[in-house]
Amino acid sequence: MEKPQEIITSRQNPLIKLTASLTERKFRDRECLFRFDGKKLFLEALNAALPLFAILFKESAVDAMLDAAGALTPVAGCRAAILPDALFDRISEEKSPEGVICLAKRLDKFHKIITINKCTPFEEAFLPGQTLLVESVRDPGNLGTIIRSAAAFGVAQVVLSADCADLYHPRTIRAAMGTLFHTRVLITPDFAQAVAYLGTKGRVFAAALDANATALGHCRFGEHDSVIVGNEGHGISDRVLQAATDTVYIPMAPGVESLNAGVAASVLLWEFYRGR
């Protein structure tokens, strides 16, 4: 990657103001852009040929970042600029800025909003294979961890209810550690209907403790089965539980009420992976 020729020194520069605004969801939604900070995500984005809109480099770190990128180059049309250290640090979201901020376009290739009879029918939207369904997980860090585990354990797709945390929240992106750039994520307001549809393709296990729940470790998961993880505090809604075909619980030592949503999803997905 060649060293940028553009140098930006003013906080009032339109690109700097745009970058700063993307910390808020309303501006991410309006601009159809998101941002992420740091060397690892920068390199992951280049490797994934992400549709980058702009790259901002810290003056004192630009040579190191370009050396790390090596022969990797951003997609055509990506703007690149160098910022003085003080200006860069002012707009960085990192406590100890590494020296690079990226702006990228929404990943519509992988991330879609689906509804019945409005955009894309479920039979066209879903890929065959195992699916992770996530209902009302509100913490961006938990959501990013869940997406990272889904990528690690090879599910076909992740389906989110529309009230989950923002997929492009900076904490979601950091916790996903680059897996967001190539993981298929579908968002639907018709979450219970999505569960019901997947129940026609395989079993759908809700992670819930009820009289009929099977202990994890005593289930055999099929290649088209799915699992649901619910809200951090309230679990899975009654409507979604009714749409599921089965329930499963994670055995734990006495005295522990529950697991973090991201940890629970990881344990469940490991069992799916082990079964394959």
> What percent of the chain stands above pLDDT 70?
98
Over range 43-69, report the average pLDDT. 97
Q: What's residue 118's pLDDT?
A: 52
**Cα dihedral angle (271, 146, 177, 27), rounded to 10 degrees?**
160
Task: Return d(Cα 97, Cα 110) in angstroms, integer.
Answer: 29
Phi, psi of 263 (to 5 degrees): -65, -45
- Residues 79-110 pLDDT 10s: 999 999 999 999 999 999 999 999 999 998 78
Which residues have C-beta within 8 Å of that of residue 213, sequence separation ≥ 6? Answer: 247, 248, 249
- Identify which of 60, 153, 154, 41 has the alpha carbon closest to the alpha carbon of residue 102: 41
What is the helix, strand, coil percentage profile of the chain, to 5? 35, 20, 45
- Residues 137-190 pLDDT 10s: 999 999 999 999 999 999 999 999 999 999 999 999 999 999 999 999 999 999
Task: Return d(Cα 50, Cα 42) in angstroms, integer.
Answer: 10
Q: How confident is the model at residue 258 (pLDDT cuts 50, 70, 90)?
A: confident
Task: Return d(Cα 29, Cα 187) in angstroms, integer.
Answer: 15
- Residues 103-135 pLDDT 10s: 999 998 788 877 555 555 788 889 999 999 999
3-class DSSP state for residue 57? strand
Q: What's residue 213's pLDDT?
A: 94
Weakest mean pLDDT among 113-122, 158-167, 208-217, 264-273: 113-122
- Identify which of 100, 103, 76, 80 has the alpha carbon closest to the alpha carbon of residue 2: 80
Contact between residue 156 and residue 270 where contact means Cβ atoms under 8 Å apart: no
Q: What is the mean pLDDT of the chain?
A: 93
> What global pTM score does this model have?
0.91
Q: How confident is the model at residue 136 (pLDDT cuts 50, 70, 90)?
A: very high
Task: Return d(Cα 248, Cα 236) in angstroms, integer.
Answer: 12
Q: How confident is the model at residue 16 (pLDDT cuts 50, 70, 90)?
A: very high
Paired tokens of 252: 């734990």
Q: How many CB atoms lie within 10 A of CB 98?
A: 17
Helix (H) or strand (E) holding 242: helix 238-243
Over range 202-213, report the average pLDDT. 92
